[in-house]
Structure 1
Amino acid sequence: MAIKRYQALVLWKGGRCMQIRLGQVIAVLTALAVLFMYRGTLDSVDFFFQDKFMQHESTTDNRVVIVGIDDESIQNVGKWPWNRSVHAQLIDMLAQGCPAVIAFDVTFPVPSDDPEDDMELIDAMKRAGNVVMSRYGTFEASAKQGTLEALELSEPFPELKAAAAGLGHINTIPDEDQVVRKSLHTFNYKGQLIESFSWGIYKMFKKHIGQQVNPKELPLDGFNRYHIPYAGGPGQFEAVPYSSVINGDVPPDYFRDRIVLVGPYTVGLKDDYPTPLDYKTKMYGVEIHANIIQALLERNFKQELDWKWNAAILVFTASAVYYLFRKTHPGISFIVLVAMIAGLIFGGKYLYGKGVIISMGYLISFLIISYIVVIGFNYMKELLERRRVTDIFGRYVAPQVVSQILESGEEGLRLGGTRRELTVLFVDIRGFTPLSEQAEPEEIVEILNEYLDLTATCIFRYDGTLDKFIGDATMAIFNAPLLLEDHPMKAVQAAWAMKEGAVALEKKLMERFGRSVKFGIGIHTGPAVFGNIGSKTRMDYTAIGDTVNTAARLESNSKPGQIILSETVYETVKERITAVPLGEIKVKGKEQGIRIYELEGLT
């Protein structure tokens, strides 16, 4: 039985045959992936791959230096927060070195208890003329895309605000995993556009060197954010302790023409966040500003590819998956999968270097899931094919024979016309025609089914193959399609089991109709051809040849309840049976007679 392989699962439901093709499965999977991409369902996975393979440390810009409010400074200066006069002293010390910008990542929303200290800070800022102060807004828990609107704005107290050369917000909007990947460029507050702290510093630095800025070059997303390409991880940017500057340990000239960021540089001040470079070791807020400023200085902008283009890449990937995975061995498919993932990673990193961010996470996840689905689909296809073969071929052979066929595959079958020595058994019901004249058609069918079920059960029990039912007769072959040791004895055992099993049926019919029926059985061993015999449109799995004809002639010569063996069968099994020689008979189609024996029992 040749099995043609289709790329489809065939299911039966409500009596209808439904084919689920691999292409349809991949199409549904692609549609779901595109939907998830549009809705951002798997953004966390996408972030992971972007962080892992796109973000990497590089050389930090020495034009940016951090003056850190660190543990050493707190130990030397005193408990935080410090007196405003200390900050005034820092600004004066820095101003002597003529830095390009002095920026405080520290807020002063209200005056202190000592107005004189506040005035010292205000005057120092005025003298320096390049101090940028920070502020931050408060937003709703959820916001729609577009320019965000702040509910409240915390900024330096009025006199200090007036003395500042620039102001910028220090708000950040982490992603759902709390990792800071983007910088919020602007938001609105009561009709006023509030620019970011980093952008304000960048503008002032550009002004210091006599250049202009163009905010339109920023690749902003739906929330006015842009990607941060981190150059330095925690501790990578040059940093000096706050106390070392005010004590004179670091000379003012050290800061000439540089951007000086002043901010918390200790865990105790709780201004640290996880970043793509390191989820566990958090980065101080002032370091994040340093990374943003470096990206602005280097014009290192990354544009996220629109989801439609990502979807187009995904559809192309789906087509490749279908053509590469559907007929390939799982081992080779796995190698192809690894190669495609490596290609996506390399391509993603290359494009990232060119300023384009693709949804690598969605594409790689789709590849992995598609591979698993294809493997599962092929497994289910094979499983259903096995069930189909079991269901169809199991009507002809014993279940264990079906299992061997499925395990051996086409090599074990070798169908299409194979010559082999077979043992053929024919069994017919004697007395069935007179009985059918007395019983109703429905009863006849019931009786016939019981007898045929008995013959089939006995054939299967001894590993035979049920070839066909011919009216009230049954034909069985042994030693096909799979090789069967001692097949003549198996056929004899099956015949004797039929005779013994028929006793109960005979008694039942005698009680019901007053008439009994018996089996007549003929068995012969010899060469025959078995396989798919017929036309292209209609074929049967059967055996043909003189051996088959001889077995049929022996059955037709048997009396009710008699089992006739040919001499060939008898010589093979005579040591294990009790049989009576019946002499030689002449059968139709043969010139020479055949010596036959009647089976009387098994020893």
Structure 2
Amino acid sequence: MQRRKWLLTIAVGILTCLFWSLLSNLGTGGTLNRLESVLQDKVMQQSDVERAPNVNIKLIKIDQNSLDQLGQFPWDRGLYAQLISMLADAGAKAIALDIVLAEPGKDPASDALMAETMKKYPNVVLPVVFNLKAKQDGAGLLETESVAYPAETIGASPNQLAHINVIQDQDGTVRKVTVGLKDEKGTVVPALSVKLANYLLDKDHQINWDPDKSAWYRGDKRIPVDNRNQLATEFYTEPREEMSVYTGYDSQSFFDVLSGNIPAEYYQGDVVLIGPFAPGLQDEYLTPLSARLKMYGVEIHANMVQSLVAGKFFTKATKPVNYTFIIVLTLLSLLVFERITGGKAFIFYAAFVIIFFFVWILLYYILSLFITFTYPFLAMTTAFIWSVVKHYVSERKERNRVTNIFGRFVPRTVVDEMLASGEEITVGGQRRDISVIFVDIRGFTPMSEKLEPEQVIQVLNEYLDICTKAVFKWNGTLDKFIGDGVMAIFGAPINQPNHPELAVRAALEMKRQSAELEERCLREIGVPVRFGVGINSGPAVVGNIGSQLLRLDYTAIGDTVNLSARLESNAKPGQILISQETLARVEGLFETVSIGEVKVKGKEHPVLVTEVLGEVTTVGEQKSKPLPIEGGTGE
């Protein structure tokens, strides 16, 4: 039985591991993965101190003021060439234009001026836009359908190109920088943030693509990108609407810089990003910092630059690592919860959740590793729920089994009352006022000699069944079968104020119900098998005797019990004999006749014995019924 239980537990553990592992493998979206992303967003949020923007990263905004002054988009490219020249001559480290120039401009002279500027200043970076396949051939890949390069009329060299693709997760949030993308020819084009970060990094920490190892490196340290060449990015500024006063990257209006209101020398030694900063230009994205307020693309690129410069790279754990956490937590939970039940199980479950959460946080801060949280957590919770349900079902089965077994000794009402009390069954007893009834079959020995053993057992079982039903009908407790006899108790384990009356009525019930069986036995075997009954009332020690660990018997001990047994041994076939104590408590309820004083074994003086003939049949008088069972303790 125990082996089968463990096999079932192991099977459930395996199925749980397989289910959540498979779900974590297949799930690339949905509620669980959104929850996973939200948890990561909360952990990665910077404190106010950590959020301080890099002072060497500055923005020039194509804002509403610039649009009002210079006209609506698209602008003449000569404006860009003029501003770039001003910044480069003033000593800006790098200048990035976050404006797509994929088609030749309307004015060839302006394009020529732009081309001349690009040639003169190699630290100028122009954007490349990748059009990715709507349906990727491989899971988790970023495959290219086409690439939009700057127009040839601008004359940008390959070293001046970087992609500006900002790839959103399925919930529309930008969380990662795509370090590089491959074009149709397999050439890797770095991200705009990578190009600009290298202008702020020393030569020993430059970010480069190693084609031989097919990996990205920051100096000699490999960057832990995923199979999409993506990396979780930190955010150092909040969406502008979150703040009453904008405290993000130093940002000035395009028109103010171009007109000289902001001197170009202000940008000496800085990396400058020029891009849209007005709602109508439709270059806004959600970030982990807000579920409703968007951030402009140029500011997202600035955050990515600072994240790459900081070099604190976070990556997601591989599938084997996540599977390991799912398996370990599931099996550990099942192992523990198999042995622990009740309130302790909830305490251990809460402890497991807290420990797992802290391990998850520590792995992030110490190893810069994100392991999946929701799937191991749900696997552990599944194991916990299974264990709780399993223990509950087992306890219900055991309760029903005990109830059914105990119900063979006492009425079901008594069983329910004892179970509801919640009292532990232990070795020991207490003094109680009870009535004890002994019943024995007269003529059993002659009958046994005339019948086959199987027939004897059949007749005996019929008599004992009559006795048991009568005891239970009047709320008695069946103590034990003694050969061809029965011992029953009234008034314990549940208090019954009228227990002497109940005992007598149970005896009369036996007498009535056995009439048919007596007649059949007399007719078939010629032996009148009848009952002899003895009843006594008084104090006795009632409780459990035996071994605390192996076996307990609920019984009554004392002189009251002994006298009841002696009365039964003196009863003739069909007689119900009661003691003087019982008579005093039921007098007037039954028709009785005095037998007189009888000398019984164990008593120094004779005892007064009375025979019960039947119930009092006064006209209009109703017969007594069993009184409700009362709870309580003994005397």
Structure 1 residue identity aligned to 2:501: M
Q: What residue number does 2:177 align with?
A: 183
Residue 98 of structure 1: which of 76, 79, 91 is its match? 91
Deviations 1:3-59 (A, max 9, x none): xxxxxxx79xxxxx9435997589558745883587275554443332223433422
Q: Secondary structure at the match of 1:194?
A: strand
Shift of residue 294 of structure 1?
Answer: 0.7
Q: Does 1:200 align with 2:186?
A: no
Deviations 1:109-129 (A, max 9, x none): 222444344334434434443
Matched letter for residue 61 of structure 1 = N
Separation in structure 2 between the aligned mates of residue 146 and residue 535 of structure 1, nearest angstrom:
64
1:107-126 aligned within 5 A: 107-126=100-119
Equivalent position of 1:53 in the other structure = 43
Superposed CA deviations along residues 69-102 of structure 1, whole A, max 9, x for unmatched, are 4444445544444444443444344435432222
State the match for 1:405 in structure 2: 418
Letter aligned with residue 68 of structure 1 = K
Which position in structure 1 is the counterpart of 2:21? Answer: 35
Correspondence for 2:225: 220
1:573 paired with 2:559, answer no
1:6 match: none
Is the 8 Å Cα contact of residues 94 and 125 (structure 2) preserved in structure 1? yes
Stretches of structure 2 that go unaligned for 5 or more consecutive residues are: 209-215, 241-247, 616-622, 625-635
Q: Which moved more, 1:193-202 or 1:318-327?
A: 318-327
Q: Secondary structure at the match of 1:56?
A: coil
**In structure 1, distance between residues paired with 2:166 and 2:448:** 93
Q: CA deviation at 1:202?
A: 2.1
Task: Please tell me whether the aligned partners of residues 29 and 370 of structure 1 are also in contact (alpha carbons under 8 angstroms).
Answer: no
Give the letter for the 1:64 counterpart: I
Alignment of 1:326-475 (within 5 A): 338=350, 341-359=353-371, 361-362=373-374, 364-365=377-378, 368-369=381-382, 371-411=384-424, 413-416=425-428, 420-428=432-440, 451-470=463-482, 472-475=484-487
Deviations 1:382-429 (A, max 9, x none): 434322322322222222322233333454x33356564442223345
Deviations 1:141-195 (A, max 9, x none): 2454687442322222233363575222233444444433322222333222232
Cα 1:591–1:290 shift into 2, 3 Å: same
The letter for the 1-side match of 2:178 is L
**How many angstroms does 1:470 deviate by?**
4.2
Q: Residue in 1 aligned with 2:489?
A: 477
CA contact 2:334–2:384 (8 Å) conserved in 1: no
Q: 1:399 to 1:86 in 2, by over 3 A?
A: farther
Once the two structures are TM-superposed, the CA of residue 279 in structure 1 deviates from its matched residue by 2.7
Percent sequence identity over matched residues? 36
CA deviation string 1:535-561 (max 9, x = no partner)? 976664444555444333433444455
> In structure 2, which of residues 61, 82, 98 is the aligned counterpart of residue 68 of structure 1?
61
Distance of 2:136 and 2:452 partners within structure 1: 81
2:619 is matched with: none
Evaluate the alpha carbon distance shift between residue 175 and residue 382 of structure 1 in structure 2; reply closer, same or farther with a 3 A threshold.
farther
Shift of 1:441: 8.2
Q: 2:5 aligns with which of 19, 31, 35?
A: 19
Q: Is the 8 A contact 1:264 1:271 kept in 2?
A: yes
Cα distance change on mapping 1:448 and 1:113 into 2, 3 Å: farther
**What secondary structure sits across from 2:419 in the alignment?**
helix
Q: What is the Cα deviation at residue 293 of structure 1?
A: 0.9
The number of residue pairs the alignment matches comes to 587
* 1:291 partner letter: N
> What is aligned with 1:132?
125
Which segment is superposed worse, 387-396 or 110-119?
A: 110-119
Q: In structure 1, what is the equivalent of residue 629 of structure 2?
A: none
Task: State which drifts further: 42-51 or 501-510.
Answer: 501-510
- Does the 8 Å CA contact 2:239/2:294 hold for their aligned counterparts? yes
Cα distance in 2, alignment partners of residues 277 and 213 from structure 1:
27
Q: Which amino acid aligns with 2:608?
A: R
Partners of 2:436 and 2:537 within 8 A in 1: yes
| Matches of 2:567 and 2:432, distance apart in 1 | 21
Alignment of structure 1 residues 244-393 onto 2, 5 Å: 244-309=256-321, 338=350, 341-359=353-371, 361-362=373-374, 364-365=377-378, 368-369=381-382, 371-393=384-406
- Rounded Cα–Cα distance in structure 2 between residues aligned with 1:338 and 1:161: 63
Structure 1 SS opposite 2:39: helix
Unaligned 5+ segments in structure 1 are: 1-9, 12-16
Q: Provide closer, same or farther for how the CA distance between residues 71 and 372 of structure 1 changes in structure 2, counting only shifts above 3 A.
A: farther
Distance 1:266 1:444 in 2: 104
Name the structure 1 match of 2:632: none
Which is further off, 65-74 or 95-104?
65-74
1:499–1:271 Cα change, 3 Å = farther
Q: Per-residue deviation at 1:534?
A: 7.2
Task: Report whether the alignment pairs 1:157 with 2:147.
Answer: no
- Kindly indicate whether the alpha-carbon contact (under 8 Å) linking 2:67 and 2:73 is maintained by their aligned counterparts in 1: yes
Give me the whole-angstrom Cα distance separating, in 2, the residues matched to 1:590 and 1:417.
25
User: Is the 1:185–1:225 Cα contact (8 Å) retained in structure 2?
Assistant: yes
- Which secondary structure does the structure 2 equivalent of 1:568 belong to? helix
Residue 252 of structure 2 corresponds to which residue in structure 1?
240
Mapped partners of 2:163, 2:520: distance in 1: 99
- Which one-letter code corresponds to 1:184 in the other structure? T
1:46–1:359 Cα contact (<8 Å) kept:
no
Residue 344 (structure 1) shift? 4.6
Residues 296 and 557 from structure 1, CA distance in 2 versus in 1: closer, same or farther, beyond 3 angstroms?
Answer: same
Letter in 1 for 2:567: L
Secondary structure class of the residue paired with 1:406: helix
Deviations along 1:460-512, one digit per CA (max 9) or x if unpaired, are 34432222334554332234445544433332343344445556777999999
Please name the residue that 1:3 is paired with.
Answer: none
In 2, distance between residues paired with 1:191 and 1:367?
44
